[in-house]
Amino acid sequence: MCPACLSTTALLLAGAGSGGVSALLAHRLWHTRKREEPMETQTKTLPEPTFMEGRAFLVAGLREDYTFARRHEIPEQWARFGARWFGRVPGGVGRDAYGIVLSAPAGGGADFAYVCGVEVSDLSLVPAELYRLTVPAYRQARFAHRGPATELPETIDAVMASWLPQSGLAIDHAARPDVPGLVEWYGANFDPATGRGDMEVRVPVKG
């Protein structure tokens, strides 16, 4: 990808990433505070998931801890990463990008952590200002997102609010705290000009 495309890509990934995690968090917040109220939005029809044993890999990127009230700031996180690091991370592997939802540290006042980053071959090559993450191998349900990045929140919400609870395959995150709660994957052919290309929502499931 040419350097001139980096800022455009960062903005598109920012919109997709922030919207996706916002949908996830909205679902969690709805279950926590408004269990007695019905959901008002219609659930999107999902494609059949692909079940895979996801490989372990290394990620370098920017990590921020967020409260629900601050989740609208995630686009700025992607913008910072894109402007400074996208395509420039030492040891970077390929051109895929990841938005990874993690549990926040206990007692810190945050509701979740979010990492935007890329795969790397060696964490020792990663500059100190970037967050280093080892994603373990785990069984995943992968949902292809078909449509523009602006509609990714609808796919995530359908997965988290409808498919996962009904599947009976949700894992116990307390038993596997090393496993991400959700991964947004943006493939190398993601087109910055159209906001379309390879995108997936990946959630951990029981093996």
**pLDDT tens for each residue of the chain, 207 residues long:** 332 233 333 444 444 444 444 344 444 443 443 343 444 456 688 999 999 999 999 999 999 999 978 877 887 888 899 889 989 999 999 999 999 999 888 888 998 899 999 999 999 999 999 999 999 999 999 999 988 877 887 898 899 889 999 999 999 887 888 999 999 999 988 775 677 899 999 999 997
State the Cα angle at 86 between 83 and 88, rounded to 5°: 105
Task: Please tell me the predicted confidence (pLDDT) of residue 25.
Answer: 44
Task: Please tell me the predicted confidence (pLDDT) of residue 41.
Answer: 52
Architecture of domain 3-34+50-204: Alpha-Beta Barrel (3.20)
Could you tell me if 130 and 62 are in contact, meaning their C-beta atoms sit under 8 angstroms apart?
A: yes
Question: Cα–Cα distance between 147 and 190 in angstroms, integer?
Answer: 11
User: pTM here?
Assistant: 0.81
Question: Cα–Cα distance between 157 and 22 in angstroms, integer?
Answer: 9
Task: Please tell me the predicted confidence (pLDDT) of residue 33.
Answer: 36
Task: Please tell me the predicted confidence (pLDDT) of residue 26.
Answer: 40
Task: Please tell me the predicted confidence (pLDDT) of residue 3.
Answer: 29
Question: Which three-class secondary structure state does DSSP give residue 181?
Answer: coil
Tokens of 173: 């995150």
Task: Please tell me the predicted confidence (pLDDT) of residue 123.
Answer: 98
Q: Which residues of 139-166 are buried (b: 16+ CB within 10 A; e: fewer)?
A: ebbbbebeebbeebbbbbbbbbbbbbee
